[in-house]
Structure 1
Amino acid sequence: MDGITQAKQDAVTVEFVKPGPLQQLPLPRELVQLNDDELAKLEKSLVRKLDSCLLPAVIILFLMNILDRNNIANAKIAGLPDTLGISNAQYNTCLMIFYVGYIITQIPSNLIITKVRPSLYIGLVTAAWGIVSMCQALTHNFTGLLLCRFVLGLVEGPFLPGVFFLMSCWYKRSELPPRIALLYGANMLASAFGGLIAAGIVARMEGKLGRPAWEWLFIIEGSMTIAIALFVIPFIPDYPGTKRWWLENEHQILADWRLQNENAGLVDDDPKSLIWGLKQALLDPKLYMFIVLQMALITAQSFNNFFPSIVGTLGYNDTITLLLTAPPYAFAFICSLAISFHAAHEQERGFHIAIPLAFALLGNLLAMFVPSTGGRYFSMFLMTAGSYSPYNLCVSWLSSTLPRPKAKRATSLAIVNLMGAGVAHFYTSYMFPDSQKPRYYAGGGVMSGACLVCAVTALGIKWHLNRQNAELERAEAEEGRLAGSAISGMKTGSRPDGVVAFRYVH
């Protein structure tokens, strides 16, 4: 009896040992011979290779994604409505219908991508939207343009959530914010260079081969997308454990181990069906907080499809107007990088999202009420930098908050992107009618409200995750229970619990 009692005490003593630092997961047998310095060197080599191949490939593709999505705004300045004989309401409907197609394919696509080769899938999807983008130049009326925009949304929908998911399979959560900042910087650079490219095409291609300049805009940018998509496929990896010519076997093993190591030791796999992964995402209340956050943020950015028209209210000609669209986006790109690197260094998200939105709110108010041309143009810098800078933090924050299993993370990213970058555009496409030039009070008012909602939601999520961290610490200290079942969303006993400590980033 005494022996049983002593054994029980020993078991309790072991059970209540508080976990050490995150780096407590045993090394795979292929890497066990490496000392700490060799392991650190191998990890630096892995990250350097990812930054040299994966990151540039998806940045270039996203740049083309935004160019092909938003070039209709530049085409409008170049005379598309007059050539096709469409009204302002019909043009806005063409903007909106893109997002109908966009939301249809996102969740199914991010479930499929967990079972196929992402390199081929992402590359071929990109080439497909390049073809559809070129087809917009062949339209002759409202119906043709409407159908093209709908199909373009269908084939562009899989790209962004798929890329976010793929990056989360390779980069640690501390590495994601600055890299998603660089990725999302392609959005701002595309918006900046899109205006410059459009200005060049409008100035030089009008009437070439009997075509108006806006048709050449679609043809040139669409053909560029196809060529680039086929070129970058070899530089996009699949999942850790699959061969790639620029990744050694040790890099593959290390990539898988280090992500397990920071996610309670849980393997990034899906032992059940894809529908099960979808269900796990929908049952997590944190998903709905991020949906509100993302929808409010995209609403705060809703000027982007109308930005050339908004800048046009300053009173300059078409070419100068297109050129003036570039500097605000270039400034937003710089601010986004600075905020993301600082957030990654500080391991903080809530304040780094809320504070830029305060500047976006100020920009909206200045745009509506400041009378001078210089003041209104300055307000556009605040609008773009304040609303674009937090985006990459929201995406990386979601990925690290719902990290396991693979299908749950992929579905969560798709759902949030669907609601934010998709459904939000159903109403934002009609927020800037030409009848409200030059102040656009309705659009400015809605964006101002969205800035407030987004900032408050970010602080609310921060508070909630801070409380959950306190609960995890209490469970570890008092019950000896680690975070594996808590972050995986699985029933206790369905798989091994976590083996290392886990904390939410807030």
Structure 2
Amino acid sequence: MSATFEKPDVVEVDDTQEDIIGHIDTMATAPGTSYESFAHLDEKKILRKMDIRLIPMLALLYLLSFLDRGNIGNAKIEGLQEDLKMTDDQYNLCLTVFFFAYAAFEVPSNLLLKRLRPSRWLPTIMVAWGIVMTLMGIVQNFQGLLSARLFLGVTEAGLYPGCAYYLTMWYCRREIQLRQAMFFSAGSIAGAFSGLLAFAIAKLDGLGGLEGWRWIFILEGLATVVVAIAAFFLLYDFPETATFLTEEERAFVIFRLKYQGQSEDKDEGSVQVAQADEFEWKYVWAAFKDWQIWVNIFVYWGIVCPLYGISLFLPSIIKNLGYVSSTAQLLTVPIYVTAALLAIVVAYFSDRVGKRSPFVVTCMCAILVGFILCISTSNPGAVYAGVFIAAAGLYPAFAGNIAWLSNNLAGGYKRSAGMAIQIGVGNLGGAFASNFYRQKDSPRYILGHALELGFTSVGLIAAVILIVSYSRINKKRAKIVREGGHNQFTPEELSAKGDRAVTFRYVY
């Protein structure tokens, strides 16, 4: 991924830590430093150290995040809508309002992550949404649930884009999708775990005078708060201050992040230019004006609309095939487990070959096949197979698309803002999907399946546009470099241009 490590704007560090950061930066950027300078280090061993310390904790955080935003679907089939005397439209509005708040606060949250330490910011917002989730278990009417979902969106907004961006501070372009998939697949596991957990918690119905669906919110919210408190002590901040790495290993991690994404083709010559890492507002505005982010959002919608359609309504879709609530909860499990495994397998091969688009496009075609199967028959087994196939394509495609854009944004602050825009505006697709599956359309939900097909088709068209554009730009830049055109720019100017520099190559 074209990530660079940026020295964080952290005010609350002591002089000793500042000295360490400065010393490591100097080691990584000293004149004459090259990959040969670190040839004696075991890169695979360093990556294993990072994987063990970073991925499990991030996966747990995201598992709880996805569990808390999606468990309303499990609560619904346990009686939430009837007990709160809500209409179908009111229930869908409670789903929708979450995504508007979620989208609005993602960019500010990611910029705050740059100024505050991840080990403080991420657990803080997690405590906040855990409290909101717990209180959701005592709402008494539509207005109370609507308010709780609104605040859940505000507090959860920073977690996924923050974690996705955080990984780019540690891993290079050809390593990032596997780690994104390992982290994101926790969302799929959350889907499976949600069904099992809801099945078990619902048996507490009547305990303390509370319905079973209330206990789903209360217990899962309390679990989030407990894990958030532990995260204050278990999360690491940045490579420069990672105590599990030696000073030389830290310098190597920073070096390889700074100089990735530049042309290394033998026909072009090797061009080594450090990417800019200081904060300037122009990098944030550059993200808002970057065409590739906005085209990618259509790809994102083509994936995230079906993703939220599945995660929010899968228990209801399966129940309306003729199953009782407990069986419907359990039948969601194999779908999510398979999707999680496929996300990791696809990411592994995507990183191995250094390509994103072939895997994203193939998975989106699987999504189309799944929903075509759902819409073309009323046979319960065929419909179940259709949502199974669609989910199997959704989770690998989602992780691949996040990695694809982040690979192509250079400069830390631009990447931070760009990924937040992609995920923030993209997650408005969740607001759309919240209204696709109407109860009056059950059991076949033809309108919902048709809308998912439409969004995925538009996403595929946008993916083709990106592929053609990236290929054309790369060829044009390669020609300029071969002719020595990059020599008219100083290294500082090329650094400031980020992914717009003639030495930068897009991944597709």
Do they fold alike, i.e. is TM over 0.5? yes
1:17 matched to which residue of 2? none
* Structure 2, unpaired ranges of 5+: 1-26, 263-272
2:286 is equivalent to residue 280 of structure 1: yes
2:93 matched to which residue of 1? 93
Say whether the 8 Å CA contact 2:275–2:410 is kept in structure 1. Answer: no
2:166 is equivalent to residue 166 of structure 1: yes
State the AA in 1 paired with 2:138: L
Match of 1:305 among 285, 299, 312: 312
1:407 matched to which residue of 2? 413
Aligned-CA RMSD value: 2.6
State the AA in 2 paired with 1:230: I
Say whether the 8 Å CA contact 2:287–2:293 is kept in structure 1. Answer: yes
1:23 matched to which residue of 2? none
In 1, distance between residues paired with 2:256 and 2:35?
14
2:149 matched to which residue of 1? 149
Say whether the 8 Å CA contact 2:276–2:496 is kept in structure 1. Answer: no
State the AA in 2 paired with 1:478: E
1:225 matched to which residue of 2? 224
State the AA in 1 paired with 2:306: A
Query: Which stretch shifts more, 246-255 or 68-77?
Result: 246-255
Q: CA deviation at 1:315?
A: 0.8
Classify the secondary structure of the residue corresponding to 2:116. coil
State the AA in 2 paired with 1:187: G
In 2, distance between residues paired with 1:138 and 1:479?
67
State the AA in 1 paired with 2:77: I
State the AA in 1 paired with 2:132: V
Map 1:196-211 → 2, pairs under 5 A: 196-202=196-202, 204-211=203-210
Say whether the 8 Å CA contact 1:54–1:235 is kept in structure 2. Answer: no
2:22 matched to which residue of 1? none
Structure 1 pair 37–101 and aligned structure 2 pair: CA distance change class (3 A): closer
Structure 1 pair 211–463 and aligned structure 2 pair: CA distance change class (3 A): same
Say whether the 8 Å CA contact 1:296–1:453 is kept in structure 2. Answer: yes
Q: CA deviation at 1:308?
A: 0.6
State the AA in 2 paired with 1:272: E
2:48 matched to which residue of 1? 48
Classify the secondary structure of the residue corresponding to 2:483. helix
Deviations 1:269-307 (A, max 9, x none): 12423xx22211122211111111112221232232111
2:450 matched to which residue of 1? 445
State the AA in 1 paired with 2:476: E
Match of 2:426 among 420, 427, 430: 420
Query: Which stretch shifts more, 141-150 or 250-259?
Result: 250-259
Match of 1:503 among 491, 502, 505: 505
Match of 1:266 among 268, 274, 282: 274
Classify the secondary structure of the residue corresponding to 1:325. helix
Q: CA deviation at 1:492?
A: 6.7
In 1, distance between residues paired with 2:284 and 2:503?
26
Say whether the 8 Å CA contact 2:185–2:343 is kept in structure 1. Answer: yes
Match of 1:456 among 455, 461, 469: 461
Deviations 1:155-209 (A, max 9, x none): 000111111111111100101011111111011110111001101111x211111
Say whether the 8 Å CA contact 1:266–1:484 is kept in structure 2. Answer: no
Structure 1 pair 119–479 and aligned structure 2 pair: CA distance change class (3 A): same
Classify the secondary structure of the residue corresponding to 2:172. coil
Map 1:176-215 → 2, pairs under 5 A: 176-202=176-202, 204-215=203-214
1:389 matched to which residue of 2? 396
2:244 matched to which residue of 1? 246
Give the TM-score of the pair, scaled to structure 1: 0.88
Say whether the 8 Å CA contact 1:482–1:500 is kept in structure 2. Answer: no
Q: Which of structures 1 and 2 has the bigger CA Rg? A: 1
2:333 matched to which residue of 1? 326
Q: Sequence identity of aligned pairs in percent? A: 29
Structure 1 pair 352–85 and aligned structure 2 pair: CA distance change class (3 A): same
In 2, distance between residues paired with 1:496 and 1:153?
32
In 2, distance between residues paired with 1:270 and 1:30?
19
Structure 1 pair 495–161 and aligned structure 2 pair: CA distance change class (3 A): closer
2:477 matched to which residue of 1? 472
In 1, distance between residues paired with 2:183 and 2:310?
20
Classify the secondary structure of the residue corresponding to 1:310. helix
In 1, distance between residues paired with 2:507 and 2:298?
19
1:13 matched to which residue of 2? none
In 1, distance between residues paired with 2:498 and 2:174?
25
Classify the secondary structure of the residue corresponding to 1:348. coil
Deviations 1:373-429 (A, max 9, x none): 22121111111112222111111111110122x1110000000101112x2222221
In 2, distance between residues paired with 1:253 and 1:373?
57
